[in-house]
Amino acid sequence: MYIRYVSHLKAREDMPSAARRFTGNLVFVILAMIGCIVSCAALQAAPQSEAPGSITRRIGAIKSINGSTIMLAPDSGANVSVSVQPNARVLRTDPGAKDLKNATPIQLQDLQVGDRVLVAGKVANDGSILASAIVVMKRSDVEARHQQELEDWQKRGIGGIVSTVDASAGTVTISAGGLGAKKDVVIHAAANTIIRRYAPDSVKFDDAKPSTLAEIHPGDQVRARGDRSADGNDFNAEEIVSGTFRNIAGTVSSADASSSTVTVQDLLSKKAVTMKVTPDSQLHQLPPEMAQRIAMRLKSAAGAGLPGSGNASGGGQPPPPAATGPQGENGGFRRPGGGAPDLQQMLNRLPPQSLSDLHKGDAVVVLATEGAAGTGSVVTLLTGVEPILRAAPSASAAGILTPWSLSMPAGDAGP
């Protein structure tokens, strides 16, 4: 199972952070167009209060359009009304562009709800923006670019639990692989490698913050994108995302829909663990045949004494973007070129569950965030796992969950 490359990589109206990165590349272009110089920090969030007549700029998604007035949902702050001036310059550019060489002029009526825009102009007396320049990335273009990134993460991504970190050497060693097929891989970070870390109570890539190798610790989970060596022992990373997560195997003590929480009696610690269930949490029930197949693989791995088959330590991994691949036997899926079954594809076909579907005594395995205040949030909760727990009674929840590719996000979010 891999790190969520942001809780469920799909196009959304609030837009994945990948799109925000694309838009951010054009900030200096807008500044040139409006003839002002400001610091990059000033662009990340507009001042709380701006004087009428001052120059401002906002980045966000179009929420509504009425004639020449746009309601903009900025990446930060409250919605703002944008009045497009008659002589305003409107340009369409591609996601990822760093200049306007290939930008094309478009008309105001070409803009649509959901498009990403960077607007610049003067602050009106009522706090709205009188836009003199707009750079737009069409929502369809962003989604297409986003899909390309997702596919690249699937094709060139790797994930696992961190065993050692050498920040001075720029390396992170992880234990990667599927059920009963662990392999140590050394991830190499270069000066231009993008490194991010998930927030303590989030698996959204949007919430991941810029980070360093020094913030990664043994037991953390890492997902990286890049190129693997021919022997599979080394991995040159272009991007790295890390985080700390919890895996819990146990039985449901209570499920409270009113407070959106579930309490599980952890079989390992013998303690009750309460977790929040959010709109991003994934709850599924494994069909008996799927649970039996996983249990058989665990038994086989344990019998062969393979690494990762029991007594594992550390947390589990939040899932990566949903993988694609040819359908395998018995309705299962395998990654292109073979390898461990891609359970994410099977889980994506299962109907979701809700808190009301959980009952006291249900056996569950849970992947959750650590939580900033001690109460984590559920990433993935699976019921119908009795055969799995019987197959690996001495294995920690991490040993059960980490080989799985459960689920992952919209974007960029992760990352």
Q: Are 400 and 365 in contact (CB under 8 A)?
A: yes
What is d(CA 202, CA 21) in angstroms, rounded to the nearest whole number? Answer: 19
What is d(CA 316, CA 139) in angstroms, rounded to the nearest whole number? Answer: 34
Give the closest residue to 155 by CA, choosing from 240, 224, 243.
Answer: 224
In this predicted structure, the answer to whether residue 311 has a pLDDT above a threshold of 60 is no
- Predicted confidence band of residue 81 (pLDDT cuts 50, 70, 90): very high
C-alpha torsion 217→223→7→350, nearest 10? -120
Give the closest residue to 80 by CA, choosing from 127, 116, 113.
Answer: 127
In this predicted structure, the answer to whether residue 136 has a pLDDT above a threshold of 60 is yes
Question: What is the β-pairing status of strands 183-197 and 234-243?
Answer: parallel
- Predicted confidence band of residue 301 (pLDDT cuts 50, 70, 90): low
What is d(CA 88, CA 209) in angstroms, rounded to the nearest whole number? Answer: 35
203 three-state secondary structure: coil
Structure tokens at 252: 């449901």
Domains of the chain: 17-144 (2.40.50.140), 156-244 (2.40.50.320), 246-401 (no CATH)
- Predicted confidence band of residue 21 (pLDDT cuts 50, 70, 90): very low
Structure tokens at 77: 């702050």
Phi, psi of 16 (to 5 degrees): -70, 155
Residue 319 CA, distance from chain mean position = 8
What is d(CA 288, CA 412) in angstroms, rounded to the nearest whole number? Answer: 34
Which of the residue ranges 15-24, 84-93, 284-293, 380-389 has the most confident prediction, judged by mean pLDDT? Answer: 84-93
Structure tokens at 190: 């270069």
Three-class SS string for 14-79? CCCHHHHHHHHCCHHHHHHHHCCCCCHHHHHCCCCCCCCCCEEEEEEEEEEEECCEEEEEECCCCC
- Predicted confidence band of residue 77 (pLDDT cuts 50, 70, 90): confident
Point out which residues pair with 264 in neighbouring strands: 252, 273
What is d(CA 96, CA 130) in angstroms, rounded to the nearest whole number? Answer: 26
Q: Give residue for tokens 């109460």.
A: 375
Which of the residue ranges 32-46, 87-101, 197-211, 392-406 has the most confident prediction, judged by mean pLDDT? Answer: 87-101
The CA-to-CA distance between both ends of the chain, in Å, stands at 14
In this predicted structure, the answer to whether residue 13 has a pLDDT above a threshold of 50 is no
Q: Give the up-direction half-sphere exposure of residue 309: CA atoms within 13 A in the CB hemisphere.
A: 16
In this predicted structure, the answer to whether residue 88 has a pLDDT above a threshold of 90 is yes
Which of the residue ranges 50-54, 272-276, 322-326 has the most confident prediction, judged by mean pLDDT? Answer: 272-276
- What value does the mean pLDDT of the chain take? 75
Give the closest residue to 199 by CA, choosing from 312, 271, 118, 278.
Answer: 278
Q: Are 254 and 262 in contact (CB under 8 A)?
A: yes
pLDDT of residue 322: 37
In this predicted structure, the answer to whether residue 383 has a pLDDT above a threshold of 90 is yes
